């Protein structure tokens, strides 16, 4: 069965490379190959969906993981959890790269930022969000809220999307 899976995986990579063409496709194919080595699946075309432009790729991962596992997987791919912009359509509830940090131990108020601890440039919270609850310090984009953000317990499991630049900025 593993050999059949390996054949499917390579066939999938060749198809992705052919469809996307160019340097962008080669970079994206490397990311998917790495992901499939770490999380082998019988039908990779049903678990990973890749969309690339000249500058960025979105890798939709249809494996349910808790927030920290999803973040770790994206980080291993030199990516980050995707934060959809307001108005972008999503097809399923998914982790996004937003976390709440408790500012002081006596207050339930959370400061919300990216999973990389950067300030949010824009917000897209659903009505009555974000909740101020100690067990809900992560966020999902929720289909029933038209992609708006909803706080969630980080231990719950959802699909996720990794976003990565094809031409990352050099580190100084």
Query: pLDDT below 70 — which residues of the chain?
Result: 1-32, 34-36, 39-45, 167-172
Q: Per the confidence metrics, is the pTM higher than 0.85?
A: no
Model confidence pLDDT, tens digit, residues 73-106: 898 878 899 999 888 889 999 999 999 988 777 7
- The domain segmentation of the chain, as residue ranges, is 1-55, 66-165
Model confidence pLDDT, tens digit, residues 157-172: 999 999 987 765 555 5
In three-state form (DSSP H/G/I as H, E/B as E, the rest C), the secondary structure along the chain is: CHHHHHHHHHHHHHHHHHHHCHHHHHHHHHHHHHHHHHCCCCCHHHHEEEEECCCEEEEEEEEEECHHHHHHHHHHCCCEECCCCCCCCCCCCEEEEEEEEECCCCCCCEEEEECCCCECCCCCECCCCCCCCCCCCEEEECHHHCCCEEEECCCCCEEEEEEEECCCCCCC
- The CATH number of the domain covering residues in 66-165: 3.10.100.10
What is the separation of C-alpha 59 from the centre of its chain, rounded to a whole number of angstroms? 7
Are 142 and 126 in contact by the 8 Å Cβ rule? The answer is yes
């Amino acid at each position: 069965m593993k050999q059949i899976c390996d054949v499917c995986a390579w066939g999938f990579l060749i198809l992705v490379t052919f469809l996307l063409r160019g340097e962008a496709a080669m970079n994206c194919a490397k990311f998917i190959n790495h992901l499939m080595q770490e999380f082998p699946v019988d039908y990779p075309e049903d678990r990973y969906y890749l969309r690339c432009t000249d500058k960025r790729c979105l890798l939709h991962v249809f494996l349910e993981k808790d927030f920290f596992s999803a973040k770790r997987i994206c980080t291993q791919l030199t990516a980050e959890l995707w934060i959809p912009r307001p108005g972008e359509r999503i097809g399923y509830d998914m982790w996004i790269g937003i976390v709440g940090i408790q500012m002081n131990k006596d207050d339930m108020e959370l400061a919300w930022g990216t999973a990389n601890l950067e300030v949010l440039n824009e917000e897209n919270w659903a009505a009555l969000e974000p909740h101020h609850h100690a067990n809900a310090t992560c966020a999902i984009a929720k289909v029933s809220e038209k992609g708006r953000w909803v706080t969630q317990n980080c231990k719950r499991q959802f699909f996720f999307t990794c976003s990565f630049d094809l031409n990352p900025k050099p580190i100084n």
